[in-house]
Amino acid sequence: MSDKIILGIESSCDETGVGIVRLSDTGEITLLADQVASSVDQHARFGGVVPEVASRAHLEAMVPTMERALDESGLSLSNVDAIAVTCGPGLAGALLVGVSAAKAYAAALDVPLYGVNHLAGHVAADTLQHGALPSECLALLVSGGHTQLLKVEDLAGKITEIGSTIDDAAGEAYDKVARIIGLPYPGGPPIDKAAKQGNPNAIKFPRGLTGPRDPKFDFSFSGLKTAVARWVEGQESDGKPISVDDVCASFQESVADVLTAKAVRAATELGIGTLVISGGVAANSRLSGLARERCAQAGIELRVPRPRLCTDNGAMIAALGAHLVAAGVRPSSLELPTDPGMPVDTVYV
């Protein structure tokens, strides 16, 4: 087999991503281009992603983003050997734009098409920075839409859910808490920044689902968000001052504590030696710091890709596509449907 060029398209939420990788005949995957156009500014005043606005933005950004990715790689479309695209889970209209574009490029270029799972893509992102995954690893996926613990035995097919959030995703909790305390959307970066000046022990916020009878590996963040809202209301009605820095630090401590405690416990109980943390919230400084401390104590190898690879992008989809090509799986049909609720154990369609 000679080197293959795989192009990945991502459009499941508010980022239009096009990534390009090279799959060498030894199975090595090299990142050649990673271009992202975000519509996040258009959603900011609504405090969350507006699906119709996101779909329209994908439509406008798709071709320019493709052109920028090709420019960055120094390649042309005729060099592309396969196309991978996120077909779920995600926003229905947003997914349709990426999948339609991918089908059009695959048909025009007469190359195979791979419809892939966005969540498996987040795990594959790490291989672009840290190389191939060990034969078994645990992935903690934390983004605006998902919070899941996954056992990954094979990126090209065997991914099992160990636990997930029963209500809000971790990133969603950041976004909602930011709104409560008057910080901009998306809430993760400003809360992360403010928390650095605050005291994480100033306010004792609850740790969701950590009681002795609670499910061990599931998460809940909606009670935490409500606790922050109640605390702020209480201070206001008592005429007491609110330290935004302390609220941010105390809220963030609860999120990082629960996520890392459950992930390390799952890895230890399942006898898995490597933890990968990915998704937008993996960019959080306290989450990665605490994970580093706790993994070191438990003798677990920790892998966290750089922030640019943690948030939604096309490179992670290209990387997953390359794993599928290397594994020799059958390509998708040009009738490939989108699946907004695609289960995480379906890696490709």
- The annotated binding site for substrate is made up of 141-145, 175, 188, 192, 284
Please say which residue, 171 or 331, places its beta carbon nearer to Zn ion.
171
Taking residues 305 to 344 in sequence order and writing x for each that binds ligand KG4 by CB under 6 A, - otherwise, the string is ------xx--------------------------------
- Binding span for ligand KG4 by CB under 6 A among 21-29, 139-147, 156-164, 208-216: 139-147
Cα distances (angstroms) measured from residue 170 to each of 74, 284, 297, 313: 38, 11, 24, 19
Site residue total, ligand KG4 (CB under 6 A) = 19
H-state helical runs in the chain: 40-43, 51-73, 92-109, 118-130, 170-180, 188-195, 222-237, 244-270, 285-298, 307-310, 315-327
Contact pattern for ligand KG4 over residues 13 through 52, marking x by CB under 6 A:
x---------------------------------------
> In the bound complex, what is the minimum distance in angstroms from residue 28's beta carbon to ligand KG4?
26
For the beta sheet containing 137-142, the strands, ordered from the edge strand earlier in sequence to the opposite edge, are 158-164, 147-154, 137-142, 274-278, 301-303
Of 104, 91, 97, the C-alpha closest to 12 is 91
Rule CB under 6 A: say whether 246 interacts with ligand KG4: no
CA dihedral over 10, 11, 12, 14, signed as positive or negative: positive
Helix (H) or strand (E) holding 149: strand 147-154
Stretch that binds ligand KG4, among 138-146, 152-160, 239-247, 325-333 (CB under 6 A): 138-146
Residue where the block lists tokens 């405090």? 47
**Binding residue for ligand KG4 (CB under 6 A) from 98, 115, 163, 187?**
187
Give the SS3 label for residue 68.
Answer: helix
Q: Which residues, 6+ apart, have CB-to-CB distance to 183 below 8 Å?
A: 190, 191, 194, 244, 248
Q: Which of 279, 314, 321, 331 binds ligand KG4 (CB under 6 A)?
A: 279
Q: Shortest Cβ distance from residue 279 to Zn ion (Å)? A: 6
The tokens describing 183, both together, are 């910080």
Least CB distance to ligand KG4 at residue 201 (A): 19
Near Zn ion in 129-168, by CB under 5 A: 143
The contact set with Zn ion (CB under 5 A) reads 143, 312
